[in-house]
Amino acid sequence: MSTPRILGVVLAGGRSSRFGSDKAQALLAGRRLADHACALLGPHVDDAVVAGRDGLIRDLPGPDLGPLGGIAGALHHAAGLGYTSVLTIACDVPA
């Protein structure tokens, strides 16, 4: 049996309309929220990427579908690269 390969995906595709700017880019203790989320995923995954807005992974089948669009894009991206699983986290969830 092969070892599972897990892709960590930070969901950062929201409009941040109430926040007023892109939450994933907001700084907390000198680091972007997206970077904090990637660091939380790090010990549990083989690689971590950002989905949505300016991230590596685009929402599928298109934008403005909420978190499910990000998850669908992440699953498609992971499968294409041979990952067996995806672990997601929102960029704005407290640790």
pLDDT, one tens digit per residue, over 1-43 is 688 999 999 998 776 667 777 787 888 899 988 899 999 999 9
| Spatial distance between the Cα atoms of 86 and 52, rounded to a whole number of angstroms | 15
Q: Which two tokens stand for residue 27?
A: 């700084």
User: Under CATH, what is the fold of the domain 6-90?
Assistant: Spore Coat Polysaccharide Biosynthesis Protein SpsA; Chain A (3.90.550)
In the predicted structure, residue 77 carries a pLDDT above the cut 70? yes
Residues 6+ apart with CB under 8 A from 85: 4, 5, 6, 7, 78
Radius of gyration of the chain, Cα coordinates, nearest whole angstrom: 13
pTM of the entire predicted model: 0.84
| Spatial distance between the Cα atoms of 64 and 32, rounded to a whole number of angstroms | 22
